[in-house]
């Protein structure tokens, strides 16, 4: 019956088509199962408009097939295989080139957990369109191919994407912006935590991570420089476990364990890791062995999915990270104050430390039915940062020693839904509500000043404790409209409101286009208006009067509240498949900003403070090249960007130099994280069947420094090498051996000089290190 209907439809099509010419064409494609895996041994019949067989072939071991030398016209490709449903695809062949198609065959047997999980994953991903955006994908295999594999910190994984610049303390900057990144795990927003040294997310949890930039669709709000959308590993596809031990230079030891599986309608994936070494953060000198820089860090993650029925499931995500950091010392510094009864403490012997905690979780109900899809997810995140000073040393060198405790507890609800109206229109809408409570406790030892403004030698303690509740609201509606078979438009808007230190709202229109110029070339373009509230967990309204007539008094007393950033964003780009293995991409962007948000490190604790420039301009271009072969994969990215601001209009109390503020009020200045040129590249080569060699490299032209960011640091480049070898010993699983060299040429490069707007201290990148690891599946 299916073949008869297909033949009838083709006959009608050909009745209105031009008569087939004698020109020759070709039809090719792939056949896959419901999980997207290549399906071999499938019988294919090519039928003409009259339903008669024209040709027949069999799919090869890679799931590929080809019908060469056919006459131009419209055909049906019919695929059959024992124990699978028949699949049919209608394809038009013309003299312009190859006609490509793909068929999916579903097994007769009852759907197993993996098939259902795959279908529900696709339905979940369909809730978040990417029309008009620039998307760069890094999957688990790409991470494994890095020299350090999954032991690579997640921020360094992101550095492999175009337009991502490295900074100190594990920070990255996307397209010339400070922070302003949002992270989503399986489509669910991960609330922001208090910024510090540690990485909350572990590269081991990633099945696929996408960095979305440009003109984002309406479902994305608040943090919009980029969206890091992580699809985690799942027990339905990651059966069994992996134990790994990795270590090397700087007394590094990093054991980790992961395990996944399924039982009935439950599938799960869990992982945990522990890291200890003697270079926890970037030190203030280029010394091979930094002073007082030890760290201990632990991370845990769990994903649990319970299938309620074939179209609905309950997903639970739990994650945690805890890190203890020593703050590295800068020897040879001169003290500025005298502490009564205490001998001068050398700067090489200070003992400052910081502890950071982040815990997050969500329970998401997600499903699909006919043309409907939805996900409803309550979530939470708790973060805590505690900075402990070296009281004597900080008083002698800085005139203030602050014991800082900050906590933030965020709870929220995210709901997203989609409805496929017809073949041309898919409507999507959603809502986000988030409540936060931020607590900032500060106990500071300072020296009082005498009538002449000189510091006394006996300190006093000032307690400055604050707490603030805040609310975020967001709602969006958008339509994905297939205008033609080549052109898709996604248009919509979102409305956002913030009620915290400021009460503000904005309606933000969004518009994006994707145009398939040819089979190999795709164009995209978009416009988006963004509304970015200041991060509540970082804002603290310092009680300036409490520190009057002490060494802790700020130079300036003006402290206008931090405002939400508002911007207009334009993006246009093109991707072109030069061959089946080589892809090129080029993208350009421009952002015009009011109340541009930036952050600086103004105090002893590594807690960033937000402030606004009245105006901002950010613009640039990105180029990317990738190659995917059977034995070789590689990528090369290059970006040029410029980010400038004018007139600081909030948090003025944080700045020490009135002349610098006066200069910025009348001049466009570079943002401290503005780096003109950024590049990254990598190569992975399968030398032998069980041997793979890899390399990656990054280049930066230097971040800003000096008065009002008028200078920039020298350029730098690093190269990392790695090799993995599988050894078939003990049993069939064997073990995998990994060797890696970080910063092969031992480049001593400075990320920060300690000067510039909101820069607290110098920081240098990691020197050369040697590492090795053993891993075993079970």
Q: What is the pLDDT of residues 610-667, one digit of tens each?
A: 899 999 999 999 999 999 998 999 999 999 999 999 999 999 988 989 999 999 999 9
Are 387 and 350 a contacting pair, CB within 8 Å?
Answer: no
Give 47-83 pLDDT, tens digit per residue. 987 788 889 999 988 889 998 888 888 888 999 998 7
pLDDT at position 23: 65
pTM for this prediction = 0.84
- Do residues 756 and 657 make contact, with C-beta atoms less than 8 angstroms apart? no
Closest CA to 519 of 129, 101, 103: 101
> Residue 179 has what pLDDT?
81
Which tokens go with 352?
């400052």
State the pLDDT at residue 20.
39
CATH class of 2-105: mainly beta
CA distance 443 to 388: 10
**What residue spans in the chain does CATH classification 2.40.170.20 cover?**
133-777
pLDDT at 11: 41
Neighbours of 167 (CB within 10 A): 20
Tokens describing residue 667: 């001049």
Q: Look at residues 3, 66, 59 and name the one whose alpha carbon lies nearest to residue 32.
A: 59
| HEC profile of 489-554 | EEEEEEEEEEECCCEEEEEEEEEEEEEECCCCEEEEEEEEEEEECCCHHHCCCCCHHHHCCECCCC
Question: 133-777, what's its fold?
Answer: Maltoporin; Chain A (2.40.170)
Low-confidence ranges of the chain (pLDDT < 50): 1-22, 110
Measured CA distances, 360 to 201, 321, 378 (Å): 11, 9, 11
Q: Longest Cα pair distance anywhere in the chain, in angstroms?
A: 104
DSSP letters, 176-187, are: T-SS-EEEEETT
**Predicted pLDDT of residue 247:** 97
Check residue 603 and give its pLDDT: 65
Q: What is the DSSP letter of 205?
A: G
Q: What is the pLDDT of residue 15?
A: 39
Cβ 332 vs Cβ 312: under 8 Å:
no
Token duo for residue 526: 């978009």
- Return residue ranges of the chain for CATH 2.60.40.10: 2-105
């Amino acid at each position: 019956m299916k073949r008869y209907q297909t033949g009838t439809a083709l006959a009608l099509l050909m009745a209105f088509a031009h008569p087939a010419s004698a020109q020759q064409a070709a039809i090719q494609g792939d056949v896959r199962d419901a999980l997207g895996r290549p399906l071999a041994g499938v019988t294919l019949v090519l039928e003409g408009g009259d339903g008669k067989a024209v040709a027949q072939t069999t799919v090869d071991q890679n799931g590929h097939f080809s019908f060469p030398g056919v006459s131009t016209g419209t055909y049906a490709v019919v695929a059959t295989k024992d124990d699978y449903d028949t699949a049919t695809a209608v394809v038009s062949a013309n003299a312009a080139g190859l006609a490509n198609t793909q068929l999916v065959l579903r097994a007769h047997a009852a759907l197993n957990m993996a098939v259902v999980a795959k279908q529900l994953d696709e339905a979940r991903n369909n809730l978040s369109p990417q029309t008009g955006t620039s998307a760069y994908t890094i999957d688990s295999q790409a991470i494994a191919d890095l020299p350090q594999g999954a032991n690579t910190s997640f921020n360094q994984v992101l550095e492999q994407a175009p337009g991502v610049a490295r900074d100190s303390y594990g920070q990255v900057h996307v397209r010339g912006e400070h922070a302003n990144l949002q992270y989503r795990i399986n489509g669910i927003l991960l609330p922001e935590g208090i910024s510090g040294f540690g990485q909350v997310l572990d590269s081991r949890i990633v099945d696929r991570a996408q960095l979305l930039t440009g003109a984002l669709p309406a479902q994305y709000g608040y943090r919009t420089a980029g969206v890091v959308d992580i699809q985690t590993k799942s027990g339905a596809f990651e059966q069994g476990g992996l134990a790994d031990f990795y270590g090397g230079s700087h007394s590094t030891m990093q054991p980790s364990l992961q395990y996944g599986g399924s039982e009935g309608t439950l599938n799960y994936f869990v992982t945990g890791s522990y890291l200890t070494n003697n270079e926890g953060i970037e030190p203030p000198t280029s010394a091979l062995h930094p002073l007082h820089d030890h760290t201990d860090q632990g991370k845990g993650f769990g994903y649990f999915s319970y299938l309620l029925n074939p179209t609905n499931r309950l997903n639970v995500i739990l994650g945690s990270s805890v890190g203890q950091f020593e703050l590295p010392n800068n020897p040879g510094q001169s003290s500025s104050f005298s502490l009564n009864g205490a001998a001068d403490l050398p700067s090489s012997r200070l003992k400052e430390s910081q502890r950071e905690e982040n815990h997050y979780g969500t329970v998401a109900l997600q499903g699909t039915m006919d043309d409907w899809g939805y996900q409803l997810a309550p979530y939470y995140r708790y973060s805590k940062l505690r900075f402990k000073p070296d009281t004597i040393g900080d008083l002698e060198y800085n005139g203030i020693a602050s014991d800082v405790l900050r906590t933030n507890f965020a709870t929220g609800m995210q709901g997203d839904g989609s409805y496929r109206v017809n073949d041309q229109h898919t409507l999507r809408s959603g809502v986000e509500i988030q409540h936060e409570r931020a607590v900032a406790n500060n106990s500071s030892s300072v020296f009082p000043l005498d009538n002449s403004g000189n510091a006394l030698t006996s300190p006093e303690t000032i307690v400055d404790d604050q707490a603030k509740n805040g609310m975020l609201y967001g709602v969006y509606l958008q339509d994905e409209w297939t205008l033609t078979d080549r052109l898709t438009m996604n248009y919509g808007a979102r409305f956002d409101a913030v009620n915290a230190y400021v009460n503000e709202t904005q309606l933000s229109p969004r518009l994006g286009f994707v145009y398939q110029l040819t089979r190999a070339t795709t164009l995209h373009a978009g416009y988006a208006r963004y509304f970015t509230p200041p991060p509540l967990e970082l804002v603290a309204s310092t009680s300036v009067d409490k520190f009057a007539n002490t060494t802790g008094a700020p130079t300036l007393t003006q402290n206008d509240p931090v405002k939400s950033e508002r911007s207009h964003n334009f993006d246009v780009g093109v991707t072109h498949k030069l061959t089946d293995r080589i892809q090129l991409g080029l993208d350009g962007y421009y952002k015009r900003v009011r109340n541009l948000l930036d952050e600086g490190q103004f105090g002893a604790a590594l807690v960033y403070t937000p402030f606004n420039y009245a105006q901002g301009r950010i613009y640039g271009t990105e180029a990317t090249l990738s190659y995917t072969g059977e034995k070789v994969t590689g990528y090369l990215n290059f970006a040029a960007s410029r980010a400038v601001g004018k007139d600081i209009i909030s948090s003025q109390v944080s700045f020490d130099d009135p002349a610098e503020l006066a200069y910025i009020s009348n001049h466009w200045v570079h943002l401290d994280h503005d780096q003109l040129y950024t590049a990254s590249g990598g190569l992975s080569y399968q030398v032998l069947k069980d041997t793979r060699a890899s390399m990656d490299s990054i280049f930066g032209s230097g971040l800003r420094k000096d008065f009002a960011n008028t200078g920039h640091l020298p350029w730098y480049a690093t190269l990392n090498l790695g090799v993995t070898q599988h050894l078939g010993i003990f049993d069939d699983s064997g073990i995998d051996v990994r060797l890696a060299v970080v910063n092969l040429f031992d480049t001593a490069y400075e990320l920060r000089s300690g000067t510039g707007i909101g820069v607290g201290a110098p920081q240098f990148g990691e020197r050369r290190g040697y590492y090795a690891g053993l891993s075993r599946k079970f």
